[in-house]
Amino acid sequence: MKPGQMVNKRPFEAVVREEGATVLRVCRAVLGVHDADDAWSDTFLAALQAYPALPAGANVEAWLVTIAHRKCIDHVRAGTRRALPVDHPPEQHSSLGIPGDGHEELLDAVTRLPLKQRQAVAYHYLAGLPYNDVAALLGGTAEAARRAGADGVKTLRSALSAHQSLAHTSSKGDI
Amino acid sequence: MTLELSPDHAEVVSLLHPLDAGLEPAIASLHARLARDAQLTHTLDIAYRVVDSPVGKLLLAATDRGIVRVAFELEDHDSVLQLLANAVSPRILQAPARLDDAARELDEYFEGTRTEFDLTLDFRLCRGFRLNVLRHLPRIPYGSTASYAQVAQAAGSPNAVRAVGTACATNPLPLIVPCHRVVKSDGSFGGYLGGSEAKRALLRLEAAA
């Protein structure tokens, strides 16, 4: 950023265009694809309200992730009050990915991670926050956040490799 | 800020790629929903849209008080939005609904079926003598022109010819506030925010109708 440019805040439209995708990825990772839209809407409406008070030159992405973090927690809480846990969630993934390509397995594996691991993976890998900042959101130490992120990634990898080895042994031979 | 990212960062990001399924259409509909919600909760200080016209793409922007800015492509829409963010509020979204009437009336104007605009205008971007000049401009009838000197006289300051030129050159609401009808005393066009070609086209349109 050139000197003098930090004084003025950009139109919020530019913020939505630049950060909208990252925030949606984060919400999808934390909440699953179907609840993510509501959390995204809550996040950006709250951000729009608070935008004039954001200090000029602040890290807008980190600010948005902080808001998204809170809104996702609201949804997690509302969800646990509302929904009964089921062993086999209804299949609603038809619009997402091609069956058999591992996409559904990955999405499924993400939703099965413990909340802290989903958050750590989302904030560190998708939003690019350093683990110090992730820890500030989650509470606990940076090291604990790093461990949650690493554990999450490990589980995701093994879920996908289990899927792939299944695919290898299948008669389709399309992988 | 230096990002302390994990060494496996790129690989994990590609592992998580399925989260991107249908991301762009989702963002588009979420953006529309945000614009609606913002309007309903009175959090949207400036709504804007971009419309096509015979004089190029036009940016139309409105506050809750009325149309606050019309801008030609030549003015660079991104810079105009940034200036609005600085001067009015950064709570700006592309939200077409608030500009429906303005877009329709401009369409009718360019089709030659509308000779004056019936829109609520927000003049907060101009002050003093310039505002005085702009308020006078709609009295120049469709299809005719006035000289800078005549406008200066009508605005009550016959010596302020140059200031009339400045008022026209900084008109935040061109087309709707017809600064294109102000020309030089010798009959030549004079300058225009949207370029002299656009001014010529507008005067030709109005003369033909």
Domains and CATH numbers, chain A: 8-85 (1.10.1740.10), 98-175 (1.10.10.10)
Q: Which residues of B are catalytic?
A: 179
Give the model confidence (pLDDT) of A93-135 as tens digits. 445 545 556 788 888 899 999 999 999 999 999 999 999 999 9
Q: Are residues B203 and B173 in the same domain?
A: yes
B153: CATH: 1.10.10.10
Determine, for residues B93 and A16 on separate chains, whether the beta-carbon distance falls below 8 Å. Answer: yes
Give the model confidence (pLDDT) of B104-153 as tens digits. 999 999 999 999 999 999 999 999 999 999 999 999 999 999 999 999 99
Residue listed under structure tokens 């709570």 = B91
Give the model confidence (pLDDT) of B146-176 as tens digits. 999 999 999 999 999 999 999 999 999 999 9
Whether the per-residue pLDDT at B203 is higher than 70: the answer is: yes
Is some CB atom of chain B closer than 8 A to the CB atom of A107? yes
Q: Are residues B91 and B168 in the same domain?
A: no
B154 assigned to some structural domain: yes
- In the predicted model, what is the mean pLDDT of chain A? 85
Q: Higher pLDDT residue, B1 or A22?
A: A22
Q: Are residues B151 and B188 in the same domain?
A: yes
Residue B95 in contact with residue B42, Cβ under 8 Å?
A: no
Q: Higher pLDDT residue, B184 or B46?
A: B46
Q: Are residues B166 and B105 in the same domain?
A: no
DSSP H/E element including A25: helix A12-31
Is some CB atom of chain B closer than 8 A to the CB atom of A159? no
B8 assigned to some structural domain: no
Q: How confident is the model at residue B62 (pLDDT cuts 50, 70, 90)?
A: very high
Whether the per-residue pLDDT at B12 is higher than 60: the answer is: yes
Looking at beta carbons, which residues of chain B come within 8 Å of A10?
82, 85, 90
Q: Are residues B105 and B157 in the same domain?
A: no
Q: Are residues B37 and B71 in the same domain?
A: yes
Q: Which residues pair with B69 in a beta bridge?
A: B61
Q: Are residues B103 and B172 in the same domain?
A: no
CA B1/CA B156 separation, integer angstroms: 57
From the list A135, A149, A118, the residue with the least C-alpha distance to A29 is: A118
Of B80, B111, B142, the residue at which a domain comes to its end is: B111
Q: Are residues B107 and B136 in the same domain?
A: no
**Least CA distance to B9: which residue of chain A?**
A125
DSSP chain B: ------TTHHHHHHHTGGGGTTHHHHHHHHHHHHHHHHHHTT--SEEEEEE--TTS-EEEEE-SSSEEEEEEGGG-HHHHHHHHHHHT-S-EEE-GGGGHHHHHHHHHHHHT--SS----B--TT--HHHHHHHHHGGGSPTT--EEHHHHHHHTT-TT-HHHHHHHHHT-SSTTTS-GGGEE-TTS-----TT-HHHHHHHHHHHHH-
B17 assigned to some structural domain: no
Q: Are residues B141 and B201 in the same domain?
A: yes
pLDDT at B5: 73
B148 assigned to some structural domain: yes
Range of the domain at B92: 26-111
**Least CA distance to B20: which residue of chain A?**
A25
Q: Are residues B93 and B137 in the same domain?
A: no
Q: How far is CA A44 from CA B27, B69, B70, B202, in A?
A: 12, 25, 27, 41
Q: Are residues B38 and B105 in the same domain?
A: yes
Q: What is the number of structural domains in chain B? A: 2
Q: Which residues pair with B46 in a beta bridge?
A: B92
B3 assigned to some structural domain: no
Looking at beta carbons, which residues of chain A come within 8 Å of B18?
96-97, 102-104, 106-107
B157 assigned to some structural domain: yes
B163 assigned to some structural domain: yes
pLDDT at A90: 55
Q: Which of residues 2-41 of A touch B (CB under 8 A)?
A: 8-14, 16, 20-21, 24-25, 28-29, 33, 37, 40-41
CA A40/CA A26 separation, integer angstroms: 9
* Residue ranges of E strands in chain A: none
B56: CATH: 3.30.160.70
pLDDT at A35: 92
Q: Are residues B105 and B160 in the same domain?
A: no
B16 assigned to some structural domain: no
Of B82, B111, B140, the residue at which a domain comes to its end is: B111
Locate B142 and state its tokens.
């469709």
